[in-house]
Structure 1
């Protein structure tokens, strides 16, 4: 009996020990890390073989997908192609992912894109969520109205409807600057502009650089009220990769130093970049 009992105890101990070892091994092994969690992010991009860049599809001059076109075009799209050229020596090594104002930061955080070039204003609140490059474009918020509109400035917006894009700083700013206005938020800037064209909104507000793109498409509208904010644009990147941020900052400096930035700026905005 004692021998049988001893054998059973030994067998149970052996099973428990094996389970403990297996559990210990399981806990010590690290799960596969995403490209946004550790290591040299630039090397991750190189290993993949292409850059994944988030760009707008609804912002004339910056990133717009026109009917029948295969991909978006604009200033920011061209800059992302130049970044791919710097990394791979080939401007075509970039996958352009559509982003909207409300989706661009979550897509970065989820690792769906490597960088976002989506007319993104650098703010203290956003710095808590993502890392930013140096400023590559300085804009300012303004108002777009139909020619002949009684709205001439933010002081005329009391009781008026103002359209803008969801998740943009423009919505927050206009509520602060014109508390008497009714702010209508739409998924895209195209829809916000359409609301003005259809008479559902009295004015549209966002950065003047974005509004200028819509003016090029329809000369029946104009900008009024001057600039009532400063909107410094930066390229957004997932937090925790200072080497990737530094690489992008060096790229911006290089682009300006070799004249390519001025070339692209003039191509899209028909004027030299500000000093």
Structure 2
């Protein structure tokens, strides 16, 4: 799909999503009137960090989702404002219902439960689950984790997958992906 047609499709999805729960108006490039939470801003809820979709580079939030929403904001002739919020409020739709943001961009897997709470754009990335271990570790698969602790990001499809497929492992929840990854 071309960048322009993807932008048009996403703009249409955003138009549908933001008109129900907002307070100030702007006009999209196609002439449709759109209501936004804050005048002159397309407010995006996300949960940092989740590379390559959204993460901090210095003091700036960057990433694929950020660039994509910037295109939509440009079409609306507004600036994107990013709100870092817990993932739970995004996936349940609470943040949108509370007018905390106009849309959410959080590299989220589309599930039937989430579709009851949110209107999704067309999928633009196919994700898989993976087991990350320290180099040289004796673990090659989830089967090797019986009796061990397995870190998962809470409220994600990764957590659901681990609970279903890591028999005998004890899952330990972390609020975000960054807390799961080793530093240094």
Q: For residue 152 of structure 2, what is the aligned residue in structure 1?
A: 164
Shift of the 180–46 alpha-carbon distance from structure 1 to 2, 3 Å rule, reads closer
Correspondence 1:85 to 2:71: no
Correspondence 1:181 to 2:177: no
1:64 Cα shift? 1.1
Higher helix share: 1
Q: For residue 144 of structure 1, what is the aligned residue in structure 2?
A: 132
CA shift digits 1:173-193 (9 cap, x unpaired): 110011311111111111112
1:42 Cα shift? 5.4
Shift of the 80–150 alpha-carbon distance from structure 1 to 2, 3 Å rule, reads same
| Greater length-normalized contact order (CA 8 Å, ≥ 6 residues apart) | 1
> Could you tell me the TM-score, scaled by structure 1's length?
0.52
Structure 2 Cα separation of the partners of residues 129 and 147 of structure 1? 39
Q: For residue 95 of structure 1, what is the aligned residue in structure 2?
A: 81
Total equivalences in the alignment:
157
SS in structure 1 of the partner of residue 61 of structure 2: coil
Correspondence 1:62 to 2:53: yes
Asked which structure has the greater CA Rg, the reply is 1
Q: For residue 36 of structure 1, what is the aligned residue in structure 2?
A: 21
Q: For residue 36 of structure 2, what is the aligned residue in structure 1?
A: 45
Runs of 4+ in 1 over 3 A off after TM superposition: none
* C-alpha contact (below 8 Å) 1:100/1:118 kept by paired residues: no
1:166 Cα shift? 1.5
Shift of the 184–42 alpha-carbon distance from structure 1 to 2, 3 Å rule, reads farther
The alignment yields a C-alpha RMSD, in angstroms, of: 2.6
Shift of the 37–49 alpha-carbon distance from structure 1 to 2, 3 Å rule, reads closer
Structure 1: tracts of 5 or more residues without a match: 1-33, 198-217, 219-275
- The worse-fitting range, judged by mean Cα deviation, of 124-133 and 54-63 is 54-63
Shift of the 65–42 alpha-carbon distance from structure 1 to 2, 3 Å rule, reads farther
* C-alpha contact (below 8 Å) 2:42/2:102 kept by paired residues: yes
SS in structure 2 of the partner of residue 122 of structure 1: coil
* C-alpha contact (below 8 Å) 1:58/1:64 kept by paired residues: yes
Structure 1 Cα separation of the partners of residues 83 and 158 of structure 2? 23
1:35 Cα shift? 5.1
Structure 2 Cα separation of the partners of residues 71 and 97 of structure 1? 12
